[in-house]
């Protein structure tokens, strides 16, 4: 029989194939059926889409050194690339791989393993390293007696669990018998000098251990996928674009202030993909800078040196240092330079200090305890300004010359005064149409639409977590993708907080969005969240999972994403007839098969 004659677009199988499938299905338990759906999904998706950033692991086995990059906002990724190039230049073959692509069961065959890893959430590994982390921490982790390793941890000292992910891996590698090549380095946000020193030491240690090892083959060393996402503009070389729209999209009575911002990128030759984030270099508020200069009796034209550049203190404070985050370190240094007794007393007690930092923005501390200090002294206690990342809420298929972002304004009321977040305050209050903005694209290959347009997707979000899903829907609309789309969205009130309501309604009317469930937490006496809506539709979610759906979660990491994950586990357990341990394994398999993706912060 000619297969093509049998082809039916709704059921693209021959009767022979259907017979095989039915026979197989009759022999399968629920778990086996679910596993098979994932198996087929993965093979279908891989044909059209080799895993981004992945490099052939068999090649990696030829390399003496494997570098695993585990990053969320790009810093560890950049350092991993630099290390890979540094090894190449020094004639050492190395294989660079993303944690998500690493076939971790082969870890016991590695000779030298370098892990460059940031810490996210509250002391957790970045999303792309979660499966590796679970495996290494599990009973299944192999003996690592033959492994030499080194870890470069990236973190931020203002967090309690500083560089915890790197520390956890280090401890576990040791327990498993791994040998330290050089000691782990825990780097704070200014890591450049530490990285250079660590990489030099590392190379020296490798040269001592393997003096005769040279590059095996030049062609094995370059991961082309990594090269692909290098564009003209980057974090350290941002593009200057123009703001075209800045509009508040929450209602007048909303408890939230959310802005939709459109940025004109015409002629800048910037390309991005739905799922990517926009890096924004922001400026501190002019009034805040003036106030600090006044309280510390400095003159705005005083000259200071920042890295190698000489500039006025005004410019330095507006563009080069964080002024909206206070840290324990800053309080300690300020207490010391001002010689203030009250502050010295606070910093002498760790618990008081912790509490003080949470409740006292930098400007309040300076306002409460002003003192004449030199401009140089003041900037020496500050932390360098970091760009902020926002999920892009548009697709270039829809708006080729624009980037849209959805900004939730961080607002804190402390002692009667409103304190705005540095970047969200700048984006929402300072920037007007036609103003210039410094931006770059931060690629996020872990949060992508499936390449196969027929695959159903479930998108779960709260608040501004909806942003990448707007980009996804624009893309699927332009691609005329046939896959079903289901959105779960939560926010406080229907009338005030239904972000992009009209667009969703149009997509529903068109048939692009097949299911949409909203949870308004404060529209009734009891609280209602997205996870409650998921519970209500648990059986249908399970059906979609069996059909091969990809599940995306975007938004708040500490509350929403955790509750959503627990709900998913319960749904899998209930409708897949599994205990919670098996359901955890099942969800982890979905993660490994790129069917459970999170962008949470």
Ligand X SMILES: Cc1cc2nc3c(=O)[nH]c(=O)nc-3n(C[C@H](O)[C@H](O)[C@H](O)COP(=O)(O)O)c2cc1C
Find the binding residues for ligand X in span 417-476 (CB under 6 A): none
Considering only 60, 63, 66, 72, the residue that binds ligand X (CB under 6 A) is 72
CB of 11 vs ligand X, minimal distance in Å: 44
Minimum separation from the CB atom of position 261 to ligand X (A): 20
| Interface residue with ligand X, options 86, 162, 356, 369 (CB under 6 A) | 162
**Nearest distance from residue 442's CB to ligand X, in Å?**
8
DSSP string, 544-599: HHHTT-EEEEEE-IIIIIHHHHHHHHHHHHHHTT--HHHHHHHHHHHHHTT-EEEE
- 601 annotated as a binding-site residue: yes
Is 75 marked as a binding-site residue? yes
> C-beta of 118: minimal distance to ligand X in Å?
3
CB of 76 to ligand X, least distance (A): 3
- The edge-to-edge listing of strands for the beta sheet with 596-600 is 515-520, 485-491, 457-462, 550-555, 596-600
Q: Is 70 annotated as a binding residue?
A: no
Query: Token digits for 466?
Result: 């909806």
- Interaction of residue 75 with ligand X, rule CB under 6 A: yes
Quickly list H helices, 360-499.
362-368, 375-381, 422-425, 467-478, 494-497
Closer residue to ligand X, CB minimum distance, 225 or 570 = 225
Judged by beta carbon, residue 74 or residue 463, the one nearer ligand X is 74
CB of 269 to ligand X, least distance (A): 25
Q: Which is nearer to ligand X, 213 or 325 (CB)?
A: 325
Rule CB under 6 A: which of 167-196 touch ligand X? Answer: 189
159 labeled binding residue: yes
Q: Is 279 annotated as a binding residue?
A: no
List, in sequence order, every residue forming a beta bridge with 407; answer none if it has no partner. Answer: 259
Contact by Cβ (8 Å): 377, 337: yes
Query: In the numeric block, which tokens belong to residue 443?
Result: 């690629």
- Least Å distance, CB 498 to ligand X, is 26
Measured CA to CA, the distance from residue 541 to residue 546 in angstroms comes to 9
DSSP 124-161: BPPGGGHHHHHHHHSTTPPP-TT-EEEEEEE--TTSSS
**Shortest Cβ 97–ligand X spacing (Å):** 15
Site for ligand X in 194-223 (CB under 6 A): none
Segment interacting with ligand X (CB under 6 A) among 69-77, 132-140, 170-178, 583-591: 69-77
- Both tokens of residue 485? 């789309």
Ligand-binding annotation for 185, yes or no, is no
Structure tokens at 277: 């984030």
Closest distance to ligand X from the beta carbon of 81 (Å): 11
* 530 carries a ligand binding annotation: yes
Number of residues that bind ligand X (CB under 6 A): 24
Asked if residues 246 and 431 have their Cβ atoms less than 8 Å apart, the reply is yes
Smaller CB separation from ligand X, 75 or 485: 75
For the bound state, the minimum distance from the C-beta of residue 72 to ligand X, rounded and expressed in Å, comes to 4
Asked if residue 458 lies in contact with residue 538, where contact means CB atoms within 8 angstroms, the answer is no
In angstroms, the CA 588 to CA 578 distance is 14
Does residue number 569 form part of the binding site for ligand X (CB under 6 A)?
no
Mention every residue, 6+ apart, whose C-beta is less than 8 A from residue 75: 118, 154, 191
Residue 501 marked ligand-binding: no
390 is in an annotated binding site: yes
Helix (H) or strand (E) holding 241: strand 239-248
CB nearer to ligand X: give 163 or 280: 163
Identity of the residue, 285 or 442, whose beta carbon is nearer to ligand X in the bound complex? 442
Helix (H, G, I), strand (E, B) or coil at 446: coil
Rounded Cα–Cα distance for residues 169 and 117 (Å):
9
Flag whether 599 is marked binding.
no
Residue 151 near residue 115 (C-beta atoms within 8 A): yes
280 is in an annotated binding site: no
For residue 245, give the DSSP letter: E
Tell me the chain's radius of gyration from C-alpha atoms: 26
- Closer CB to ligand X, 75 or 244, in the complex: 75
- Site residues (CB under 6 A) for ligand X, limited to 101-160: 118-123, 126, 154-156, 159
DSSP 253-296: T-S--EEEEEEE-TTS-----TT-EEEEE----HHHHHHHHHHT
Cβ-based nearer residue to ligand X, 246 or 445 = 445
Residue nearest to ligand X (CB): 155
Q: Is residue 396 annotated as involved in ligand binding?
A: no
Of these, 52, 60, 66, 73, which contacts ligand X (CB under 6 A)? Answer: 73
- Cβ 289 to ligand X, closest distance in Å? 24
Is 195 annotated to bind a ligand? Reply is no
Residue 428 annotated as lining a ligand binding site: no
Q: Which of 52, 60, 66, 71 binds ligand X (CB under 6 A)?
A: 71
Q: Which of 559, 417, 549, 567 is nearest to 483 (CA)?
A: 549
* Contact call for residues 61 and 216 (beta carbons, < 8 A): no
Q: Which of residues 259-298 bind ligand X (CB under 6 A)?
A: none
- In this chain, which of 6, 161, 306, 516 binds ligand X, going by CB under 6 A? 161
DSSP state at residue 398 = T
Is 586 annotated in some ligand binding site?
no
CA distance to 157, 164, 168, per residue, from 173 (Å): 24, 14, 9
Please identify which residue in 53, 64, 67, 76 interacts with ligand X, judged by CB under 6 A.
Answer: 76
Annotated binding-site residues for FMN read: 71-76, 118-121, 154-163
Task: Enumerate binding residues for ligand X (CB under 6 A).
Answer: 71-77, 118-123, 126, 154-156, 159, 161-164, 189, 601
- Per the annotation, where are the binding residues for NADP(+)? 521-522, 527-531, 563
Annotated binding site for FAD: 324, 388-391, 406-408, 421-424, 601
Q: Which residues are annotated as a binding site?
A: 71-76, 118-121, 154-163, 324, 388-391, 406-408, 421-424, 521-522, 527-531, 563, 601
């Amino acid at each position: 029989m000619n297969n093509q004659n049998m082809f039916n677009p709704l059921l693209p199988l021959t009767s022979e194939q259907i017979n095989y499938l039915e026979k197989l299905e009759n022999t399968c338990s629920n778990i086996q059926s679910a596993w098979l759906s994932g198996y087929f999904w993965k093979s279908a998706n891989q044909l059209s889409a080799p895993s981004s950033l992945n490099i052939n692991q068999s090649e990696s086995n030829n390399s003496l050194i494997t570098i695993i990059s585990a990053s969320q906002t790009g810093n560890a990724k950049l350092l991993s690339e630099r290390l890979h190039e540094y090894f190449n230049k020094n004639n050492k073959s190395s294989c660079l791989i993303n944690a998500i692509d690493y076939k971790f069961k082969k870890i016991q065959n590695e000779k030298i393993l370098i892990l460059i890893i940031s810490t996210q959430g509250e002391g957790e590994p970045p999303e792309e390293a979660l499966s590796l982390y679970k495996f290494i921490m599990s009973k299944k982790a192999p003996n690592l007696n033959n492994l030499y390793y080194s870890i470069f941890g990236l973190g931020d000292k203002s967090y309690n669990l500083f560089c915890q992910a790197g520390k956890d891996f280090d401890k576990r590698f040791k327990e498993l018998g791994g040998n330290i090549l050089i000691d782990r380095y825990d780097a704070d946000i200014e890591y450049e000098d530490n990285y250079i020193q660590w990489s030099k030491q590392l190379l020296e240690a490798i040269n001592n251990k393997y003096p005769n090892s040279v590059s095996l083959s030049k062609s094995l060393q370059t991961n082309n996928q990594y090269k692909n996402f290098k564009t003209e503009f980057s974090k350290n070389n941002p593009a200057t674009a123009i703001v075209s729209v800045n509009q508040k999209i929450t209602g007048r009575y909303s408890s939230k202030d959310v802005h939709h911002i459109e940025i004109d990128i015409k002629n800048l030759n910037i390309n991005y993909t739905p799922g990517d984030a926009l890096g924004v270099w922001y400026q501190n508020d002019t009034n805040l800078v003036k106030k600090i200069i006044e309280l510390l009796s400095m003159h705005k034209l005083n000259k200071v040196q920042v890295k190698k550049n000489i500039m006025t203190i005004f410019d330095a404070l507006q563009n080069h240092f964080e002024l909206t985050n206070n840290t324990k370190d800053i309080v300690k240094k300020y207490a010391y330079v001002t010689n203030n007794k009250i502050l010295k007393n606070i910093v002498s007690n760790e618990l008081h200090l912790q509490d003080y930092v949470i409740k006292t923005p930098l400007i309040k501390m300076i306002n409460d305890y002003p003192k004449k200090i030199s401009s140089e002294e003041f900037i020496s206690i500050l932390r360098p300004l970091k760009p902020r990342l926002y999920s892009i809420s548009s697709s270039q298929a829809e708006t080729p010359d624009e980037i849209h972002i959805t900004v939730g304004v961080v607002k804190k009321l402390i002692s009667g005064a409103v304190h705005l977040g540095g970047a969200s305050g700048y984006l929402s209050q300072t920037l007007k149409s036609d103003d210039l903005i410094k931006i770059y694209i931060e690629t996020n290959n872990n949060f992508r639409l499936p390449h196969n347009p027929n695959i159903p997707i479930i998108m779960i979000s709260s608040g501004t977590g909806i942003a990448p899903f707007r980009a996804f829907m624009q893309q699927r609309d332009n691609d005329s993708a046939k896959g079903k789309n289901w959105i779960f969205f939560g926010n406080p009130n229907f009338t005030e907080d239904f972000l992009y309501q009209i667009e969703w309604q149009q997509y529903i009317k068109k048939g692009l969005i097949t299911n949409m469930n909203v949870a308004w937490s404060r529209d009734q006496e009891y609280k209602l969240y997205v996870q409650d809506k998921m519970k209500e539709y648990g059986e249908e979610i399970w059906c979609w999972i069996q059909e091969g759906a990809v599940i995306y979660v975007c938004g708040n990491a500490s509350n929403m994403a955790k509750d959503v994950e627990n709900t998913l586990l319960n749904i899998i357990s209930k409708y897949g007839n599994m205990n919670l341990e098996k359901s955890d394994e099942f969800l982890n398999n979905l993660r490994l098969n790129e069917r459970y993706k999170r962008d949470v912060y």
